[in-house]
């Protein structure tokens, strides 16, 4: 097993180090380790060098890294303490989107409606995905009207994004029975979601 690639994307510390250690023990002489955070990259690099091997790293798309290890030392017993390679990777920030109108920007309502649909369709392409999308005031029309936004919201919901629509707003616009995606919510849920979020994004 002279050359291998270890896909450690998504693995928490110290798993990338432990998998690297196992690969070296099995006789690999050239290893590429793929990780998705700075802490794991540093830990794998530090471990390899502590064992007397060469280690370099390169950036990969999407915030990932590739650590390349070339065995240069004889397979001797080196001190190893797994606790040295544990790390706390920051959790993904809790982010929510707020849609408070059925138009994006000021000016032409027709243009604003079209822009807002495109905005919602683009959410899936921005990382990370939001935890929730809140709709209130005339924004609730987006969860009832057949449009490109509705299709995009259904796909986001399938990916685990919660879609919450203000019940009072749906009543005001007489749209409660027309909701086609998400769930009816209330002001407490909306306020709690906003207060507990790390980041709030709105197109206004």
Residue 176 has pLDDT above 80, yes or no: yes
Residue 27 pLDDT class (50, 70, 90 cuts): confident
Compare 38 and 78 and report the one with higher pLDDT: 38
pLDDT in tens, 95-109: 999 999 999 998 999
pLDDT score of 78: 64
Residue 165 has pLDDT above 70, yes or no: yes
Residue 1 pLDDT class (50, 70, 90 cuts): low
Reading the block at residue 23, the tokens are 């690969």
Residue 178 pLDDT class (50, 70, 90 cuts): very high
Residue 113 has pLDDT above 60, yes or no: yes
Compare 39 and 127 and report the one with higher pLDDT: 39
Count of residues in the chain: 204
Residue 153 pLDDT class (50, 70, 90 cuts): very high
Mean pLDDT over residues 136-156, rounded?
A: 92
Residue 202: half-sphere exposure toward Cβ, Cα within 13 Å: 14
CATH H superfamily, domain 95-201: DsrEFH-like (3.40.1260.10)
Considering the chain, what is the average pLDDT of its residues?
89
How far apart are the C-alpha atoms of 171 and 22, rounded to whole Å?
Answer: 61
H-state helical runs in the chain? 15-25, 38-50, 109-122, 148-158, 167-172, 187-196
Residue in this structure with the two tokens 């409606």, named with its chain if needed? 113
CB 161 within 8 A of CB 57: no
pLDDT score of 75: 55
pLDDT in tens, 50-105: 988 999 999 988 789 999 999 986 655 567 777 777 776 555 678 999 999 999 99
pLDDT score of 76: 56
Residue 125 has pLDDT above 60, yes or no: yes
- The CATH number assigned to the domain with range 3-85 reads 3.30.110.40
How far apart are the C-alpha atoms of 146 and 98, rounded to whole Å?
Answer: 20
Residue 147 pLDDT class (50, 70, 90 cuts): confident
How far apart are the C-alpha atoms of 141 and 204, rounded to whole Å?
Answer: 16
Neighbours of 165 (CB within 10 A): 26
Domain layout of the chain by residue ranges: 3-85, 95-201
């Amino acid at each position: 097993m002279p050359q291998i690639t270890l896909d450690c994307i998504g693995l928490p510390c110290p798993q990338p180090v432990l998998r690297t250690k196992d690969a070296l023990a099995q006789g690999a002489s050239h290893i590429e380790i793929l990780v998705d955070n700075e802490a794991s990259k540093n830990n794998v690099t530090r471990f390899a060098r502590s064992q007397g091997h060469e280690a370099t790293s390169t950036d990969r798309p999407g915030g990932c890294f590739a650590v390349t290890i070339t065995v240069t030392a004889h397979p001797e017993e080196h001190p190893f303490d797994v606790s040295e390679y544990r790390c706390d990777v920051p959790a993904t920030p809790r982010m929510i989107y707020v849609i408070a109108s059925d138009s994006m920007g000021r000016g032409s309502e027709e243009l604003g409606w079209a822009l807002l649909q495109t905005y919602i369709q683009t959410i899936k392409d921005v990382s990370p995905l939001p935890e929730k999308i809140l709709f209130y005031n005339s924004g609730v029309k987006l969860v009832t009207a057949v449009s490109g936004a509705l299709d995009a919201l259904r796909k986001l919901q399938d990916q685990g994004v919660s879609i919450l629509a203000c019940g009072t707003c749906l009543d005001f616009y007489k749209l409660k029975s027309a909701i086609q995606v998400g769930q009816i919510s209330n002001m407490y849920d909306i306020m709690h979601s906003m207060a507990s979020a790390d980041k709030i994004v709105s197109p206004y």
